Amino acid sequence: MTKKVRVRFAPSPTGGLHLGGVRTVLYNYLFARKHGGDFILRIEDTDQSRYVQGAEEYIFECLKWCGIEPDESVLHGGEFAPYRQSERKAIYNEYAEKLVKDGFAYYAFDTTEELEEMRAKFKTHDNPTPQYNHEIRERMRNSLTLGEEEVHRLMSAGSPYVVRIKMPMNEEIKFTDMIRGEVNFHSSLVDDKVLLKADGMPTYHLAVVVDDHLMKISHAFRGEEWLPSAPVHILLWKYLFGLENMPEWAHLPLILKPDGNGKLSKRDGDRLGFPVFAMDWTDPKTGEKATGFKERGFLPGAFVNMLAMLGWNDGTEQEIFTLDELCEKFSLERVHKSGAKFDYEKAKWFNHEWIKRNTKYDLRSTVYEILSQRGIEINDNDKLEKVIELVKDRCTLLTDFYDQAKFFFSTPETVDVDSIKGKWNDDKTAFFKEWISSLDSLEWKATSLEAKFKELAAAKNIKVGELMLPLRIMLVGGKFGPGVFDIAEIIGTEETKQRVEKALRSL
């Protein structure tokens, strides 16, 4: 019997969608699909100051590109709407009030300055960041210390206040994480986290718990950085909805910087020269640009494949998986506990494998787009397919198709004649003249062209080896590309003749 699951995707719309974010969403998606569950995309935008316009649309586009398509209607309706936490503001207040009434939370009137003062005052070498905890709260301005009348007076006078959770003095808080097993905390070591901010918005802590309950989430996935605040969420579940209704938690390992240590951030991408976002992203506030894997030339399948393997494997030696295969084989039991350093070389390897495994038909439209974006006109689909077939094994990124394929469609602008000039002589000129004049009567196939080429060389007593490189230079402009005769076959008789003649003139 399969359990009905409902997981949530909760990317925060504070700009961009980085590797860690996509992977969390991906694992959510794989799990939901495998277990036949629903998924919800919830926008966690409770921090108004960091919220960025257009971020939601961007996230949808990224997910769509990856092949993970959440139902777009979730933003506009459906069973649990609204899905933007900023639009659910009124809901959270009710729960915060309930917590206060039941004695699990309290009002705190301390100003930012007062908090800073407190931190400065209690700061010691052994305790560099004093917490607003069971000890400190006795000395602060809150509904625990102030007395009912004063609280009432402050509130009716419109004094700003927050709601803080009242962490119990002496309680073991334990829960089972699907990846890590049992995790324990002691309540005395956790501080009285703010649940409802002065602007009436909930913090993440209150919002996840309330929304997970209201949206009937059965399994909650998030990054490992959330582990330390899990006891707050556990307690909230206990106070509000009952531990027996709490979703199962899975704290995913972090994606780390390739060099040094620490979490991978968007700055690392700029610094080390690789993308960390799924797609290009420009922060509308700062104008800061970040490049995406898509624009760098990654196939979505390769991107998803690479990301999935960064923290999971199926126990066999298989490394290449399609999204469907991942859905089928994914299991949380095999998700790793420890973080993984991101390796861009390996990421490129995945892409290369995917390009090689894709057919010319799979690649056709993507390559067409890349070439035309860079000013190459293509009006012969048949030719494009032939070129892709010939060239795809040497492309690691989709953008490599430009360098590998451009000379099939337009005469090379620069021809590196210098590298053959040294050993040039009239015999060679004569040879090439004769070869191109023989072309018209030939069957236009790579094998015939090569046969004729060799036959003529032998007749003129010139080593074939001394003629191959010149021919390549004449046709493609440099020392690269697939077999020369294959190239000639594709570009055709006229173009072959013209390129040879053009080169001969400058020799």
Partner RNA sequence: GGCCCGUUCGUCUAUCGGCUAGGACAUCUCCCUUUCACGGAGGAAAGACGGGUUCGAUUCCCGUACGGGCUACCA
Residues of this chain, 86-145, that bind RNA according to CB under 7 A: 110-112, 115, 125-129, 131-132
Task: Give yes or no for residue 327 binding RNA (CB under 7 A).
Answer: no
Residue 424's region, left for phi above 0, alpha for psi from -120 to 50, else beta, is beta
Site for RNA in 226-245 (CB under 7 A): 226-229
Kindly state the smallest distance separating residue 124's Cβ from RNA, in Å: 8
Q: Which of 96, 254, 367, 420 binds RNA (CB under 7 A)?
A: 254
Tell me the one-letter amino acid at 33: R
Choose the binding region for RNA from 6-14, 91-99, 144-152, 211-219 (rule: CB under 7 A): 6-14
- Report the alpha-carbon distance of residue 304 to residue 307 in Å, rounded: 5
Least separation in angstroms between CB 4 and RNA: 26
Q: Candidates 68, 96, 194, 398: give the one binding RNA (CB under 7 A).
A: 194
180/497 with CB nearer RNA: 180
DSSP type of residue 75: G
Min CB(130)–RNA separation in Å: 8
Residue with Cβ nearer RNA (115 or 327): 115
- Figure out which of the listed residues 5, 7, 10, 40 binds RNA, where binding follows CB under 7 A: 10
β-partners of residue 335 are 312
Nearer to RNA, 126 or 418 (CB): 126
Cα distance between residue 492 and residue 499, in whole Å: 11
Question: Could you say which residues in the range 346-365 bind RNA, by CB under 7 A?
Answer: 346, 349, 356
According to the binding rule CB under 7 A, does residue 276 interact with RNA? no
Q: Name the β-bridge partners of 277.
A: 18, 292
**The binder of RNA chosen from 446, 468, 504, 507 (CB under 7 A):** 468
Catalytic residues: 266
3-state secondary structure of 138: helix
In terms of C-beta density within 10 A (0-12 exposed, 13-18 middle, 19 or more buried), how is residue 180 classed? middle
Q: Which of 328, 322, 317, 331 is nearest to 303 (CA)?
A: 322
Write down the H helix ranges in 358-461: 360-373, 381-391, 400-409, 418-421, 426-438, 446-460
* Distance of closest approach, residue 398 Cβ to RNA, in angstroms: 15
* Structure tokens given for 491: 């570009």
Identity of the amino acid at 364: R
- The least CB distance from residue 200 to RNA, in Å, is 9
Which of 6, 166, 472, 499 binds RNA (CB under 7 A)? It is 472
Interface segment toward RNA; rule CB under 7 A; list 276-284, 314-322, 374-382, 438-446? 314-322
CA dist., res. 448 & res. 2, Å (int):
63
Q: Is 332 in the site for RNA (CB under 7 A)?
A: no
* 488 token code pair: 């000639």
* Closest-CA residue to 50 (of 266, 284, 291): 284
